[in-house]
Amino acid sequence: MLDMEFRILDVLTREIGNALSINKIAEKVRTLYGSGDYKNIYVAINNMNKDKIVTLEQAGNTSIASINFENYLIIDLLSEMELRKKRDFLKNRQEMQMLMLEFDTYLYNQDLIQSISIINPERNAKLNKAEFLVHLKKSSNRKVVYETKLGIYVMLNHLQMIHTIRIDALVLEDDEVSDLLKSNEANPVREMFYDKIAIFSSQSFWLWIRNEIIKGMKIKTEEHQTHPAKISEEDLVYNLARFGYTEFGPKIKEGRQICMEYTIAAIMFRKDARRIDAIAIMLAKNTKRTNYDLLLFISRKYDFAEKILGILKSLRNLVTHVTTAAEEPIRLLESMNIEEIRADEKNMKDRLKLYRVT
């Protein structure tokens, strides 16, 4: 693969679902790689179009480029791109190579794993951190799914201690990945797909993407990460109302849609005791809507897992329809050696009663 083709594919894979003109691609190439002559990029994209690697569609006077997923060979080409990115990232990082070797050794016999991506690799490596998205295959066997998740978390905790590196992992089932990728809400998965390297089963990763796109899924990646501490008060009030918690005073204005798990994290950052009560109410009102795998990831990443464990345990005792849903996340948090910070169960009971949740 030529260097310019590699760079163009890197840009297009980050921006899946977003319409990019050749001019915009050139701008993105320069941002990512420091240089990129428009003429060379124009010629390369037209050659890639002739080779059926990309498609070009006219939108007025502008040519819009997209990856051609109808081309059978595109999966091999995208997998080659991922392998090159992986080599470039690991080349001068011996400690990370050792971590990846142990990672691969453990995962070799894990049949339920679809693919694994390392997220924001360059930035996190500088901070002595590693973040992973683990995509599991579809399975109706809940016992096997739970045991796979448990094994991954235990293994990562072990590697974290050996290599003295902070490791955060988001382990998602197949339907969860689909739902989050096509969601209109700001959420970590849309952001993760912008800057990632598929380090394990890259062909499976891109086969899955192609199949979802062919089936009609509209993938929406997001370049900029949401930091819960920076969610505006207006957006927080709007999203609290979306999830069933309203307050006296603040006027609700339509704002940016943000997933409930990020909304919970935003509450934790503000350290407002009154707002903390909203977490239990939202979880109780949105049991089927809550993505507990996502909540576990965000709570660990932003260091409030101990509080979430306490809230979930109290909810399990107080709200009948939460009991079953909360059981798995509670056990997974405990397997990570998270020590519970007890919630005020009496106060929670009163607040739930006020919001008519039992």
- Give residue 107's pLDDT band: very low, low, confident or very high (50, 70, 90): confident
pLDDT in tens, 31-80: 999 988 899 999 999 999 999 999 999 888 888 999 999 999 999 999 99
pTM: 0.93
Domain ranges of the chain: 3-67, 74-214, 228-354
Is pLDDT above 80 for 335? yes
Q: Give, as one character, the DSSP assignment of residue 186.
A: B
Q: How far is CA 96 from CA 8, 89, 99, 117, 164, in A?
A: 27, 9, 5, 14, 11
Written as six digits, the tokens of 142 are 């809940």
Report pLDDT for 248.
67
3-state class (DSSP) for residue 134: strand
CATH architecture classification, 3-67 = Orthogonal Bundle (1.10)
For 325, the token pair is 């849903």
Tokens representing 240 are 């609290």
Please give the share of the chain, as a percent, with pLDDT higher than 70. Answer: 99
CA–CA separation, 254 vs 280, rounded Å?
23
> For the segment 263-305, what is each residue's pLDDT rounded down to a tens digit?
999 999 998 888 899 999 999 999 989 999 999 999 999 999 9
pLDDT, residue 103, reads: 86
